[in-house]
Amino acid sequence: MTPPELKPAIDAPVQLLALAAGRVAIYQSGCDIAELPPLLLVHSVNAAASAAEVQPLFDHARLHRTVWAMDLPGFGLSDRPDVAYSPQMMTDAVSAVLAELCARAGVAQVDLLAVSLGCEFAARAAQATPLRIRRLAMVSPTGFSAKRRPHGPPGTTRVIPWLDRWLRSSAWGDRIFRQLTRPGVIRYFLRRTFGSPAIDDALWRYAVATTRQPGARHAPLRFVSGALFSADVTDLYNRLQMPVWVSMPTRGDFTDYDGRSAFESRSHWRFQRMEGGALPYFEDSQAFHALLDPFWH
């Protein structure tokens, strides 16, 4: 049975940008009277990820500035080829969209906001082209746990080789993905993300729909094997020179930010507790932007 065509996650024009790894979908909104430089939004990575995760951020930002939101390779409306997805592949896609945004807007610098594991790709892109990023905001980023502070060699990942080989070569990989993306299981993981049964139902519905698309399992299975997590993320964050704002959730599975002590004393880093789960702008957009907007200004 052919799955229904996936509709856009955000009410905005969508363009497909051709890259070496396939086409990447970009939601675009201009602003006639822009108060701030353009902004790029990067979603998180999980079995059902897409730009739907940043839709409230997009709708808020479009009132004040040009804003783009991308679907990472293997997710949403982007192409989903059966390839070895990696942090570098994701970083290259973010960098390409940043370059396209700068060229289209006719500016030298833009702002960047990413969520969860997407923060690692955003930070790597910012490290590669530091003059292109004016400010970087990270919402519930990975890499700050005191229990696991990755200090691996540059460019390495936290992949579990045997698990990666097994998931990619065995029919079990497809079965595991189907189990992980059952509607009830997606709702379960969203509850853990929100730290509450009160999840966003529209986000849940889109998460279910995006996992039914051809090739939907390829990138998430690399996530499951650890191949999309950077082993050198601590050193990567250490090298960031632009102003960085970090939102830390108080509920759910992603509340360990004790590793931030290595960064708190630096003048260009700002950590702020945000009441709620890992996607706090779904719960209280006004409170979230009351903390974030001064950082952009």
Residues 226-250 pLDDT 10s: 999 999 998 999 999 999 999 999 9
Average pLDDT, rounded, for the chain: 93
Question: What integer pLDDT is reported at residue 2 of this predicted model?
Answer: 53
The answer on pLDDT for 112 being more than 90 is yes
Residue 97's closest CA among 13, 17, 36, 28?
17
Residue 36's closest CA among 111, 95, 100?
111
Report the percent of the chain where pLDDT is more than 90. Answer: 79
Where does the pLDDT of residue 124 fall: very low under 50, low under 70, confident under 90, or very high at 90 and above? Answer: very high
**Mean predicted confidence (pLDDT) in 113-135:** 95
Please, which residues bridge with residue 157 across strands?
230
User: What are the b/e assignments for 57-72, b being 16+ CB within 10 Å?
Assistant: bbbbbbebbbbbbbbb
Q: Which helix (H) or strand (E) holds 247?
A: strand 244-249
Please, which residues bridge with residue 244 across strands?
136, 269
**Mean predicted confidence (pLDDT) in 254-269:** 89
Question: What integer pLDDT is reported at residue 52 of this predicted model?
Answer: 98
Residues 86-110 pLDDT 10s: 999 999 999 999 999 999 999 999 9
Q: How far apart are CA 221 and CA 297, in angstroms?
A: 39
Report the percent of the chain where pLDDT is more than 70. Answer: 97
Q: Cα–Cα–Cα angle for 49, 51, 54, nearest 5°?
A: 105
Residues 141-174 pLDDT 10s: 999 987 765 567 888 889 899 999 998 888 888 9
Q: What are phi and psi of 9, to 5 degrees?
A: -80, -20
Euclidean distance between the first and the last CA atom of the chain, given in angstroms as a whole number: 50
Residues 7-31 pLDDT 10s: 999 999 999 999 988 999 999 998 7
Residues whose CB falls within 8 Å of the CB of residue 9, separated by 6 or more in sequence, listed in order: 27, 50, 51, 52, 55, 71, 76, 77, 206, 210
Residues 23-68 pLDDT 10s: 999 999 987 777 899 999 999 999 999 999 999 999 999 999 999 9
Q: Which of 67-81, 82-96, 148-162, 186-200 comes out lowest in average pLDDT?
A: 148-162
CB 59 within 8 A of CB 69: no
Tokens of 116: 């969860």
- Homologous superfamily of 14-296 in CATH? Alpha/Beta hydrolase fold, catalytic domain (3.40.50.1820)
Which residue ranges make up each domain of the chain?
14-296
Question: What integer pLDDT is reported at residue 270 of this predicted model?
Answer: 96
Question: What integer pLDDT is reported at residue 12 of this predicted model?
Answer: 97
